[in-house]
Amino acid sequence: MVEGLKVTVKGGELIELCFKRAEYHRKRVAAYAKGEKALDENELEGMNYSGGDPKRALAERKKKHDDEAAEMEFIAGHLLPDDDYLLDRNDLMRLGIVRGF
């Protein structure tokens, strides 16, 4: 018996979902890199306003998304296409299917 709300997904579909999520994170990395470049090109220093350093905040967000993309790509590379995977709400959130509250 399965306890709680779970979804069975074929490995092939899960591989696609992981790569799609990794692509989302790669796009976020590019967006944050663009923001960093704009700060550098305009010679804006990391000023303390609005509670922090914008350069550092962009760098941290970029790294977080880069790490998450790498994780999704690793997982996708280790899934078996013909197996069934039982996913819970947390798994679906990591894949970007369900939004957190």
Domain boundaries, the chain: 7-94
Three-state secondary structure call for residue 9: strand
pTM value is: 0.85
Mean pLDDT, range 6-28, rounded to an integer:
97
Q: CB burial class (10 A; 0-12, 13-18, 19+) of residue 49? A: exposed
Three-state secondary structure call for residue 91: helix
Question: For residues 8 and 88, what is the distance between their CA atoms, to the nearest angstrom?
Answer: 9
pLDDT of amino acid 45: 60
- Above pLDDT 70, what percent of the chain? 89
pLDDT of amino acid 78: 98
Mean model confidence pLDDT for the chain: 90
pLDDT per residue as tens digits for the range 32-66:
999 988 887 876 665 555 567 888 899 999 999 99
